Amino acid sequence: MLMSFAIPTLLSVLTFLGVYKYFIEPRYIAAEARKKFATALWISCHELDIHLRERRKTFETNDHAAIVALKKIPNNDFDGKADWFLKEGYLSTLTAYKIAVVSCWLRIYQQELLFSTYRSSRRFISNLYRLADKVKSAFSKNTCLWYDYFDALGDKLVLLCDVIILVLFGHPKVFDAFD
């Protein structure tokens, strides 16, 4: 009888004192964000890794057609033909898209955890930004991507997804951002 009264009373006192709001809830929110966004980031990184390993094999076997296909640039090569993206430009477009997806999930993950209020989460986000910096540096060495392009790709894809969601749910002022 005493226990059934003590636990709810203790919880209400702790809630009143802000323990839940300032200590428990931030940890719970950060753990949920880690679970949700880390999974998506891991999957996109894994898919990019598989894709880049396959592309490496094409370079090692000197597959001339695949090497030429990876050097295609949409603005210079597609000549207004949409089927180009499914034929000659497929590998370069697919590679660019997989890089953009990794960048997008990384940006979302960083933004979700940016204002986390407890110490271990701040350490985690600091490490995440440090490792993201290494990824951006790796993508910008000996490639056509500049260091800041990696973030721009992710930001553009996040914006595009936000617009698509707004259009699907019928937000009346969705196109005001483009005025």
- So what's the pLDDT on residue 83? 77
Mean pLDDT value across residues 149-172: 68
Q: How far apart are CA 43 and CA 40, in angstroms?
A: 5
Q: Which of 9-13, 31-35, 115-119, 125-129 has the highest mean pLDDT?
A: 125-129
pLDDT at site 37:
81
Q: What CA–CA distances, in Å, run from 155 to 20, 73, 122, 161?
A: 33, 21, 22, 10
Report residue 6's pLDDT band, with 50, 70 and 90 as the boundaries: low
The single-letter DSSP state of residue 29 is H
Alpha carbons 102 and 40: distance in angstroms, whole number: 9
φ/ψ (deg, to 5) at 88: -65, -35
**Per-residue pLDDT, 172:** 46
What is the Cα–Cα distance from 38 to 142, expressed in whole angstroms? 28
Q: What percent of the residues of the chain are helix, what percent strand, and what percent coil, each to the nearest 5?
A: 80, 0, 20
Say if pTM beats, i.e. exceeds, 0.75: no
Q: Kindly state the average pLDDT of the residues 5-33.
A: 69
Model confidence pLDDT, tens digit, residues 41-57: 899 999 999 998 988 88
Angle at 104 between CA 102 and CA 105, to 5 degrees: 70
Rounded CA Rg of the chain: 23
pLDDT in tens, 118-158: 666 678 778 888 988 888 888 878 776 677 777 887 888 87
Distance CA 175, CA 164 (A): 11
User: Using one digit for the tens of pLDDT, what is the confidence trace for 60-106?
Assistant: 888 777 777 777 777 777 777 777 777 777 888 888 888 888 888 88
In angstroms, the CA 60 to CA 52 distance is 12
The conformation of residue 14, written as its DSSP 8-state character, comes to H
Task: Give the confidence band of 179 by pLDDT, cuts at 50, 70, 90.
Answer: very low
